[in-house]
Chains A and B, each alone.
Chain A
């Protein structure tokens, strides 16, 4: 149990286009999901907290107008990278925390974004 999926697993896009990444909790409900970014050989950096039915909370230095987050249901959060540029190329990972109150977060497999 407690599986989180991400789609797509890899995406290559041209500079200036927008890319949407989906994060789904497959067998549990998650009021809160988190989006992280990981550059090569670096650790995960929290970008934003996605809350079902309300606005996302962004970490300092993360542009909310560039990284649009929508958490429309208890099992789905989406991250849209708008007007992507090569410096946005990274590994994006989401995690979901069960609504049941468990401290454990379950992580998705990640999405590799390459912007040409």
Chain B
């Protein structure tokens, strides 16, 4: 059974720091991995999707890497800003069902001025 774990659960940093958020999964036979952002009381915004054949994806100040063999992904946020404050979730498809997603518990990020 696939399980997704995110570390740390919460993070508070001053503006400008570079951050690394971690995601691990138990079944390495994944189709892809996604990182999402969730603001309080809101839905999810997709940040990055990495296919199983890819090792990383970049979008602006965000870079996500994927190491399937070790069951790990990291989300790197460069030069953090207060507007980055949110919960970041990673998700992988259910084993055998690439449309259904299993989410980690998330990392709650607070970037203070």
Asked if A44 contacts B103 (CB within 8 A), the reply is yes
Interface of B is mostly: strand
Report the minimal beta-carbon distance from B21 to chain A, rounded to whole angstroms. 14
Q: Which residues of A contact B98 (CB under 8 A)?
A: 103
B105 close to A32 (CB less than 8 A):
no
B89 contacts A32, C-beta separation under 8 Å: no
Q: B41: which of A6, A108, A112 is its contact (CB, 8 Å)?
A: A112
Residue among A32, A105, A106 making CB contact with B101, cutoff 8 Å: A105
B102 CB-CB contact with A under 8 Å: yes
How large, as a class, is the contact surface on chain A? 20 to 34
Residue of B31, B32, B94, B103 near A43 (CB, 8 A) is: B103
The answer to whether B105 and A42 touch across the interface, beta carbons within 8 angstroms, is yes
The number of residues on chain B lying at the interface, defined by a beta carbon within 8 Å of a beta carbon of chain A, is 23
A-side residues, CB < 8 A to B, are 4, 6, 32, 34, 42-46, 49, 91, 93, 95, 97, 103-110, 112
Looking at the assembled complex, report how far the CB atom of B32 sits from the nearest CB atom of chain A, in whole angstroms: 6
A33 to chain B, nearest CB (A): 10
| Residues of A contacting B104 in the complex (Cβ-Cβ under 8 angstroms) | 43
From A4, A46, A112, give the contact of B102 (CB < 8 A). Answer: A46
Quote the shortest CB–CB distance from B30 to chain A (angstroms). 12
Within 8 A of A (CB), among B19-62: 31-32, 34, 36, 41-46, 49, 51
Say whether A106 contacts B46, CB under 8 Å: yes
Contact B99 A93 (CB under 8 A): no
Instruction: Collect the chain A residues with CB atoms within 8 Å of residue B34's CB.
Output: 104
Given contacts A43-B89, A44-B89, A103-B32, contact A93 B103 (CB under 8 A): no
Q: When A44-B89, A103-B32 are in contact, do A34 and B100 touch as well, CB less than 8 Å? A: yes
